[in-house]
Amino acid sequence: MLPNFIIVGAPKAGTTSLCHYLSEHPLVFMSDPKEINFFSKEEIENQGVYCKEFKAKNIAEYEDLFASVTDEKAVGEGSVSYLFYPKVAQKIKDALPNVKIVILLRDPISRGFSHYLMDYRLGLVNVPYDEIVNKKSSHKNGDLYYQQYVELGLYYKQVKRYLDYFGRKQVKVYLQEDLCRDIKGVLLDLYDFFGINKSFLPNADKQHNAFLMPKNRLIHKLYSFYMIRNFLSELLPNWLKEILLSTFFERSKKPELSESTREYLRKFYLPDIQKLEILIHRDLSHWYGE
């Protein structure tokens, strides 16, 4: 069994929540883990973006990840690395020509800063955000940071690739605010897209991927190690994870983005946003930041 739909990104745009909501439907099977990164494996390895083992090294191992599918009609995965890299859309098309593509987008300024805050929490970056955006950092990973927190927000070409390869009938594009404003409407639209029963609605009240920060520097340092994060996320039962998170992490107010950096990014993204509006037939003027 191979997936018949893939959520391809963007990062920090609501894909985790969407996967959770979809997985509650009895006719939907979501891979575990959510992010397989099979079609972007080569690009990720070349850049060293993630410090984790890949769950599938070839198409047979990829198919094995869906071996437990029973009577589910919609079978999917969600790897946010698939949207950015130029060759991934063609790889997916070659392997799964009829697969349905789901894209989630978020205001690129808030997306990039949220991505930075997540990586800072994980101990993956300690360079000031303003230095990354303005390319003033001398860090060895400065270019990679710029890609992850700035370039990933240039959505026009990324979305256009998927529309070019798969056509509009196989691609759905949503905004993060669509999920916040009307998650049930998005789910019903996707159920129709997948051709499954629309009478089921999940519990859409629980917040997934909430912003948490370590309570002290020691916890911050320990959590930066991949083996510890992997142990927490994959080997512990959910009830124990909840206890550990509530004990060692806290919901905190997110740091604010400086006005000077926000203004720079507003001008930087504006031409791309205006082209994207035409491409996806959506009014994105609320992203202009004016």
Is pLDDT above 50 for 224? Answer: no
> Does residue 85 fall inside a structural domain?
yes
Question: For position 238, what pLDDT does the model report?
Answer: 58
Angle at the Cα of 210 from the Cα atoms of 162 and 144, rounded to 5 degrees: 50
> Does residue 230 fall inside a structural domain?
no
Question: For position 57, what pLDDT does the model report?
Answer: 87
Question: For position 244, what pLDDT does the model report?
Answer: 59
> Does residue 218 fall inside a structural domain?
no
**Given pLDDT bands bounded at 50, 70 and 90, which one contains residue 237?**
low
Question: For position 31, what pLDDT does the model report?
Answer: 94
pLDDT in tens, 71-113: 999 999 999 999 999 999 999 999 999 999 999 999 999 999 9
Q: Which residue has the tokens 């609501």?
A: 14
> Does residue 237 fall inside a structural domain?
no
> Does residue 47 fall inside a structural domain?
yes
Structural domain range at position 110: 5-211+254-287
Q: How many structural domains is the chain composed of? A: 1
Is pLDDT above 90 for 148? Answer: yes
Closest CA to 15 of 101, 91, 99: 101
CA distance 118 to 144: 15
CA distance 208 to 226: 21
> Does residue 283 fall inside a structural domain?
yes
> Does residue 222 fall inside a structural domain?
no
User: Which three-class secondary structure string do you get for the chain?
Assistant: CCCCEEEEECCCCCHHHHHHHHHCCCCEEECCCCCCCCCCHHHHHHHCCCCCCCCCCCHHHHHHCCCCCCCCCEEEEECHHHCCCCCHHHHHHHHCCCCEEEEEECCHHHHHHHHHHHHHHCCCCCCCHHHHHCCCCCCCCHHHHHHHHCHHHCHHHHHHHHHHHHCHHHEEEEEHHHHHHHHHHHHHHHHHHHCCCCCCCCCCCCCCCCCEEECCHHHHHHHCCHHHHHHHHHHCCHHHHHHHHHHHEEECCCCCCCHHHHHHHHHHHHHHHHHHHHHHCCCCHHHCCC
CA distance 98 to 25: 22
**Given pLDDT bands bounded at 50, 70 and 90, which one contains residue 209?**
low
> Does residue 223 fall inside a structural domain?
no
CA distance 81 to 44: 8
> Rounded to the nearest 10 degrees, how much is the dihedral formed by the CA atoms of 120, 32, 26, 189?
50
Q: What number is the average pLDDT over the span 106-123?
A: 90
pLDDT in tens, 30-74: 998 888 999 999 999 888 775 556 778 899 999 999 999 999 999
CA distance 109 to 130: 12
Which CATH number fits the domain that encloses residue 51? 3.40.50.300
